[in-house]
């Protein structure tokens, strides 16, 4: 009974989510609802949730924070620092990405299928969020 209710909610979520204006990072990184990801998030601690939510929503502390005025990536110094650049293609983080995900570059859709644990390991290893 409960699983049927969850299944219905997941199916209703997709059209509403994708037709809302904005939410660019969420649409890129979260994609469609996923029961496995939802279960992983529900089992995660508060700090893990904070890290993963910052990445999924695009609210990680990148160049547009109150202290940083330079939009250049603090890791590679070549491109504009965005959440997508850091998590998917920053050359300076390729080794860290390979160690955690098994690939030096990623597509945004790969972030949506990555485990919460792996995403947290990458965030911590990159020093993106100093939460733990």
Query: Quick check: 106 pLDDT over 90?
Result: yes
CA angle 109, 35, 11 (to 5 degrees): 85
And the tokens for 35?
């029961």
The pTM (predicted TM-score) of the whole model is: 0.73
Q: What is the pLDDT of residues 33-48, one digit of tens each?
A: 778 888 888 898 998 8
Q: Minimal CA–CA distance to 6: which of 26, 29, 36? A: 36
Q: Minimal CA–CA distance to 50: which of 122, 1, 120, 125? A: 120
CA-to-CA dists, residue 58 to 1, 54, 102, angstroms: 35, 6, 23
Q: Is 9 helix (H, G, I), strand (E, B) or coil?
A: helix
What number is the average pLDDT over the span 4-27?
A: 60
């Amino acid at each position: 009974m409960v699983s049927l209710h969850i299944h219905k909610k997941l199916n209703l979520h997709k059209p509403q989510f994708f037709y809302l204006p904005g939410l660019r990072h969420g649409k890129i990184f979260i994609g469609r609802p996923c029961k496995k990801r939802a279960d992983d998030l529900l089992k995660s601690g508060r700090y893990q949730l904070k890290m993963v939510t910052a990445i999924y929503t695009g609210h990680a502390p990148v160049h547009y924070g109150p202290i940083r005025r330079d939009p250049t990536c603090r890791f590679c110094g070549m491109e504009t620092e965005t959440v997508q650049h850091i998590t998917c293609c920053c050359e300076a983080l390729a080794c860290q990405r390979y160690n955690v995900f098994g690939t030096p570059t990623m597509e945004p859709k790969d972030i949506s299928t990555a485990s919460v644990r792996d995403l947290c390991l990458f965030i911590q290893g990159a020093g993106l969020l100093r939460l733990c």
